[in-house]
Chains A and B, each alone.
Chain A
């Protein structure tokens, strides 16, 4: 044991004490040229929150427009642009990069005891590609908007729409590269840079979920890339791959698009599952029940995700046999998802649960993911889907999965790791208020839409029959509560940067490696590479005794 006069309880010598990744060097330039995964993670965090704000504003506008059955604040084409930009910003700017690129970048190396990701400069390049893609998307908004829906369906997107489709799709194409490179970087990092003793089965489960996510990013995103290139060329030169009037096949676009975008749904949800696992394990103060089952179910979800894209096309005219097969395969995803659900509950069972703010988000995740996942089964069932196809039921379902589950997990993770990232504690009370309004507002807004959907309200419609008006208005009121909840959460976190109390190294009593270094961490994460002797989530004997 080293002398305590020269080394503090974290093993930091006097030379590094008081220094961290935030104050090591100063100035904007030092941030823009950094190769430190923690700084890159923070820059991603700020970027995806801006994307979230942008998508959120469009969401509130869309909901406001739907307050009345006829025109409320915008005309039909503006409405098409508003919901397209809401979808595109939320999916591509926020939810796909949200957890992997921000929290993942920050914590993946910390959790395996590495100094950085395998390719730090490539990591910075990913961030710049994300920014370049975002600029193209913003340019599309400024130069006439996009009104195709975030799916860019042909032939509307390739020949009919007069808006800035090329700029938007090129932006998504560039962001796809960013996603691929981040995934590639993570896979290599997890394979090559684990600290001594950190075997695969000792890794925190968040990392297994990021590993599964990265596999999907690397294997699915290139197909989206070529699809968007074909779309761009189709629009520019009328080449006839997708446009039926030129001999092309619009259903081929749907196959290509969903071959990426269905796995992309799991790019969105898997990291959320990982974050939830960390929160539940830390705050139930137990080792995760069924560690390997959760780890392998992540990988299983990643693999099955490639086989189910056809369930987006039940009514596209594909053969009934194909539809039946895709329906059958779709149900398979429920198995690993159910395994996870039961293991989370098993982890909570008999745990000494503390209801910290992250834990509230973690439990909300379980609740909302259960609803989102189970309603997915309704839609996977052929006969039921024929009724529910393209109704608000679908809208409510995917909002429960993407926003209710992933975004809630993201904000839970943000609270969970905020002290580690910033070195500041936030105001618990205010954070609870923010959480409560978010949770209530979310269910208020979107549970209403399940009812709208079963009654036949089609999605994407600008005007609607008067009979739907009360429910639409009710949903819109919920969106205001939801917006207020996020605003309070944002204020709470921003305020903590100024007035928050200094965070200890381990505010929640976590068992994973990132809590074994200072808050905020020093530039190279650990002064000496940690040697891992405990299993995942195992606490040292003196702590558990």
Chain B
């Protein structure tokens, strides 16, 4: 197999047929494919930097208010966080399989795998909903809305401010990801993808892996490290 074909996920270049639409400004299909993939990777870099600011803030306030952060992190539910981690890693796995099956022209399998991914994402949000409502009930909202009184250390609100910002922005990414996966699922139903054309599936997959990856860092940082 040529290096080029390897880069295209095992599909020989010649198999990229002109059946699907190549935009007028690309000379050939694989230029379009490469450009799309490069664009998504660059976009993911910006996403990491966006979360990077929050990780930075976390590191600074953790060293500044260490006792408070240790105390506050015990109020997070490790079991729920753990379940969500498993759910999200599983969804990332099924997403990767969906890309593979799209490449292999297995339309039905792709549909099933995307549906499972979607279900996992929904389950993540349901667990998150229970976690959030529990926090709200306990008065652990950040800043001015923080009402829990039984804290020994000062400024516990800052931990929850960062917690809600990080998980909230991550949650928004999950919701956007669900929209994208649904869009891919519907297009797959319309027979739009094949071994010749699966770029949108792969690009949505890349995005979804990032959503998973961010959570994999968030979980130990917020829930486990004391």
A interface residues, Cβ below 8 angstroms from B:
109, 114-120, 122, 180, 184-185, 187-189, 191-193, 218-219, 221-223, 225-227, 229-230, 233-234, 237-241, 246-249, 252, 256, 524, 529
Contact = CB atoms under 8 A, between A and B. Distances in A.
A237 B165 CA distance: 12
Given A256-B53, A524-B24, A237 B45 contact: no
Contact of B143 (A118, A184, A238): A238
B157 A239 contact: yes
Given A241-B57, A241-B161, A114 B25 contact: yes
B12 interface: no
A188 B38 contact: yes
A109 B157 CA distance: 50
A120 B25 contact: yes
Contact of A230 (B34, B42, B46, B165): B165
Contacts of B42: 184, 187-188, 218
A498 to B, nearest CB: 33
Contact of B60 (A188, A226, A238, A252): A252
A88 to B, nearest CB: 21
A331 to B, nearest CB: 26
B31 interface: yes
Contact of A240 (B23, B26, B141, B158): B158
Contact of B158 (A189, A219, A221, A247): A247
Contacts of A119: 35, 39
A226 B54 contact: yes
Nearest to A221: B46
B117 to A, nearest CB: 25
Contacts of A218: 42, 45-46
Contacts of B64: 249
A225 B60 contact: no
Nearest to B38: A188
A506 B61 CA distance: 59
Nearest to B60: A252
Contacts of A109: 25
Nearest to A524: B24
Nearest to B57: A241
A191 B155 contact: no
Contacts of B57: 230, 241, 252
Interface of B: 23-27, 31, 34-35, 38-39, 42-43, 45-47, 49-54, 56-57, 60-61, 64-65, 141-145, 154-155, 157-158, 161-162, 165, 169
5 contacts: A184-B39, A188-B35, A193-B31, A219-B49, A252-B57
B19 to A, nearest CB: 22
B24 A192 contact: no
B31 A192 contact: yes
Q: Which 4 A-B pairs have the closest CB atoms?
A: A239-B143, A238-B144, A226-B53, A247-B155
Question: Which of A191, A234, A239: most chain B CB closer than 10 A?
Answer: A239
Nearest to A193: B25
Question: Which of A187, A219, A222, A524: most chain B CB closer than 10 A?
Answer: A222
A524 B26 CA distance: 12
B143 A240 contact: yes
A335 to B, nearest CB: 26
Contacts of A256: 53, 56
Nearest to A114: B25
Given A193-B25, A218-B46, A237 B53 contact: no
Interface of chain A, helix or strand or loop or mixed? helix
B38 A222 contact: no
A66 to B, nearest CB: 37
Nearest to B160: A239
B2 to A, nearest CB: 19
A330 B5 CA distance: 46
A239 B38 contact: no
Nearest to B157: A240
B24 A223 contact: no
B86 to A, nearest CB: 28
B35 to A, nearest CB: 4
Given A219-B45, A252-B60, A115 B154 contact: no
A238 B144 CA distance: 5
A240 B53 contact: no
B24 A237 contact: no
Contacts of B45: 218-219
Given A241-B161, A529-B27, A227 B142 contact: no
Contacts of B50: 222-223, 225-226
Given A188-B35, A219-B46, A256-B53, 13 more contacts: A184-B46, A187-B42, A188-B38, A192-B34, A193-B25, A222-B49, A222-B50, A226-B54, A227-B53, A238-B143, A240-B158, A249-B60, A256-B56
A83 to B, nearest CB: 28
A189 B23 CA distance: 14
Given A115-B25, A192-B31, A239-B142, A248 B158 contact: yes
Given A222-B46, A247-B65, A115 B142 contact: no
B181 to A, nearest CB: 20
A223 B54 CA distance: 9
Contacts of B158: 239-241, 246-248
A180 B144 contact: no
Nearest to A185: B39
Contact of A237 (B47, B49, B145): B145
Nearest to A523: B24
Contacts of A240: 142-143, 155, 157-158, 161
A248 B52 CA distance: 18
A278 to B, nearest CB: 23
Nearest to A251: B60
A230 B25 CA distance: 40
Given A227-B53, A241-B57, A116 B157 contact: no
Contact of B49 (A192, A223, A239): A223
B25 A237 contact: no
Contacts of A193: 25-26, 31, 35
B143 A246 contact: yes
Nearest to A120: B25
Contact of B142 (A118, A184, A185, A237): A237
A440 B23 CA distance: 49
A187 B46 CA distance: 13
